[in-house]
Amino acid sequence: MRASAGVGRNGADVRVREYIEAERAELQAMLRRGDINDHTARKLFTEITFTEAILKGREPRD
C-alpha cells in the first residue's frame, strides 16, 4: 500500500486509514478478552503506529 503515501485523500489513502483503524480496534478487543498481555499490546500498537507513519509519508514544512 506504499503507493498511497503522499497522495492525499484519495480512495487508497482512505482504505489504508480504515485498515489501520480496524487493526487498532481488533488489538484493543484482543487485549480486553485477555488474548494478549499488556506488553504484547504495546509492541503491536507501536508497530501499527510505525506503519501508519510510513504510509502517511512526509509532509512539507512551512
Domain count, the chain: 1
Residue 30 falls inside a structural domain: yes
Amino acid at 19: Y
Residue 27 falls inside a structural domain: yes
- The span from the CA of 28 to the CA of 21, in Å, is 11
Residue 22 falls inside a structural domain: yes
Tens-digit pLDDT profile for residues 2-54: 444 445 556 778 888 899 999 999 999 999 999 999 999 999 999 999 988 88
Residue 61 falls inside a structural domain: no
Residue 25 falls inside a structural domain: yes
Print the domain residue range for 33: 7-55
Quote the pLDDT of residue 9: 56
Residue 1 falls inside a structural domain: no
Residue 51 falls inside a structural domain: yes
